[in-house]
């Protein structure tokens, strides 16, 4: 037996004084919402781990992490968004507590996983927020499934494909990981992820991010680096985006710099661009205070539409 939780606005005529109506339904395709953190769901043979918090019936926002992190990179945002939104942060396949599966990784496969997850959770439409690789996934998702998304938040990301130099660099990185392991890779990555000021004032956050990177497995690092080399550009499709878009970028982002964010802003009509001070590539972690102000304001404006 499955239980469906139905928000009150859809059943006002039935039960105006009860906030939520809980119905027991004898149907195979009806699922009960599991609230909490590190929930596991198996979708098309792949077990995905996700956090699902916030009120039932509230607008849904889905958060997609960057490479090589996991859903916990959104903890500061989960805290503020869950007041008014149903917030879902999930581990991309191979990362955190999600299975890697057997298919070759690609941005297209990650998008299929996202849509499969939305279908399994019965989410018809959501706001989508992705950082860096999460942004690559979000841009590909909105290009291919425009009806499934009501707004887009692109954080420290880019619409271009890898240049031959970038591809070469990722191949060298795979070789180094194979030879020396994950820790030297984590140490090298940290140097590029943060604003200079953070190495003086934010050692604690740097240590947390290093731990996050160290949790990624070697097969996942290899498979994802390969997937990133083959990703297609999405710049040509930016003018087709018709939903509200917020672009956030750290002023010291060396990986997907403000110039890339400005280019996307120019090509997405009506988009809003905010440059986050004292932040590099992980602006949501490094300056979560400023990041969250812009995020909350944008999400509230979308919810009111
Ligand atoms: C990320 O943060 O997701 C990565 O920096 C993306 C990339 O390497 O292109």
Cβ of 41 closer than 6 Å to ligand 1, yes or no, is no
Cβ of 132 closer than 6 Å to ligand 1, yes or no, is yes
Residue 18 has a pLDDT of 34
* Domain assignment present for 3: no
Q: What is the domain range of residue 169? A: 8-303
CA distance 90 to 64: 7
CA distance 174 to 250: 27
* Domain assignment present for 43: yes
Tell me, in angstroms, the distance from the centre of ligand 1 to residue 184's CA: 17
Q: Which two tokens stand for residue 123?
A: 């989410």
Q: Across the beta sheet with 272-276, what order do the strands follow?
A: 36-43, 46-53, 86-90, 60-64, 126-131, 149-155, 245-250, 272-276
Backbone region of residue 21 per phi and psi (left: phi > 0; alpha: psi in -120 to 50; beta: other values): beta
**Measured between alpha carbons, how far is residue 268 from residues 134, 164, 239, 247, 271 in Å?**
18, 26, 5, 10, 6
* Domain assignment present for 212: yes
Cβ of 153 closer than 6 Å to ligand 1, yes or no, is no
Residue 246 has a pLDDT of 98
Cβ of 66 closer than 6 Å to ligand 1, yes or no, is yes
pLDDT one-digit tens code per residue, 7-59? 333 333 322 333 333 332 323 334 589 999 999 999 999 999 999 999 999 99
* Domain assignment present for 188: yes
* Domain assignment present for 1: no
Based on DSSP, count helices (H) and strands (E) in the chain, helices before strands. 11, 10
* Domain assignment present for 2: no
Q: Which two tokens stand for residue 180?
A: 């020396």
Nearest protein Cα to ligand 1, atom 7? 133
Q: What is the pTM for the complete model shown?
A: 0.90
pLDDT one-digit tens code per residue, 163-177? 999 999 999 999 999
Top mutation candidate among 67, 137, 171, 254 for ligand 1, by most atoms within 8 Å of CB: 67
pLDDT one-digit tens code per residue, 257-271? 999 999 999 999 999
Q: Name the 3-class secondary structure at 122.
A: coil
pLDDT one-digit tens code per residue, 250-305? 999 999 999 999 999 999 999 999 999 999 999 999 999 999 999 999 999 997 67
Count structural domains, the chain: 1
* Domain assignment present for 284: yes
* Domain assignment present for 126: yes
CB contact set of 254 (below 8 Å; sequence gap of 6+): 192, 280, 281
Tell me, in angstroms, the distance from the centre of ligand 1 to residue 145's CA: 23
Q: What is the CATH number of the domain that holds 67?
A: 3.40.50.1820
Tell me, in angstroms, the distance from the centre of ligand 1 to residue 130's CA: 11
Q: List the one residue out of 300, 302, 299 whose CA is nearest residue 63.
A: 299
Nearest protein Cα to ligand 1, atom 9? 133
């Amino acid at each position: 037996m499955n239980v469906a939780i139905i928000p009150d606005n859809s059943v006002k005529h039935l039960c105006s004084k009860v906030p939520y109506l809980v119905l027991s339904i004898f149907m195979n395709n009806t699922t009960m919402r599991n609230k909490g953190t590190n929930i596991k769901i198996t979708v098309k043979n792949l077990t995905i781990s996700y956090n699902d918090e916030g009120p039932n019936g509230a607008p849904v926002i889905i958060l997609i992490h960057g490479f090589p992190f996991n859903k916990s990179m959104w903890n500061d945002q989960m805290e503020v968004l869950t007041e008014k939104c149903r917030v879902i942060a999930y581990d991309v396949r191979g990362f955190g507590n999600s299975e890697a599966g057997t298919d070759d990784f690609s941005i297209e496969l990650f998008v299929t996983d996202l849509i499969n997850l939305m279908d399994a959770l019965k989410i018809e439409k959501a706001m989508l927020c992705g950082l860096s690789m999460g942004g690559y996934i979000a841009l590909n998702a909105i290009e291919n499934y425009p009806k499934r998304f009501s707004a887009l938040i692109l954080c420290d990301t880019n619409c271009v494909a890898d240049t031959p130099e970038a591809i070469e660099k990722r191949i060298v990185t795979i070789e180094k990981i194979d030879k020396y392991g994950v820790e030297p890779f984590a140490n090298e990555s940290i140097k590029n992820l943060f604003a200079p000021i953070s190495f003086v004032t934010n050692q604690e956050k740097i240590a947390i991010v290093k731990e996050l990177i160290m949790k990624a497995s070697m097969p996942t690092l290899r498979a994802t680096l390969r997937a990133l080399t083959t990703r297609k550009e999405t710049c040509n499709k930016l003018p087709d985006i018709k939903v509200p878009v917020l672009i956030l970028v750290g002023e010291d982002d060396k990986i997907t710099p403000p110039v890339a964010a400005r280019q996307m802003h120019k090509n997405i009509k009506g988009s809003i661009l905010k440059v986050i001070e004292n932040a590099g590539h992980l602006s949501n972690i490094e300056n979560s205070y400023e990041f969250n102000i812009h995020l909350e304001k944008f999400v509230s404006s979308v919810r009111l539409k």
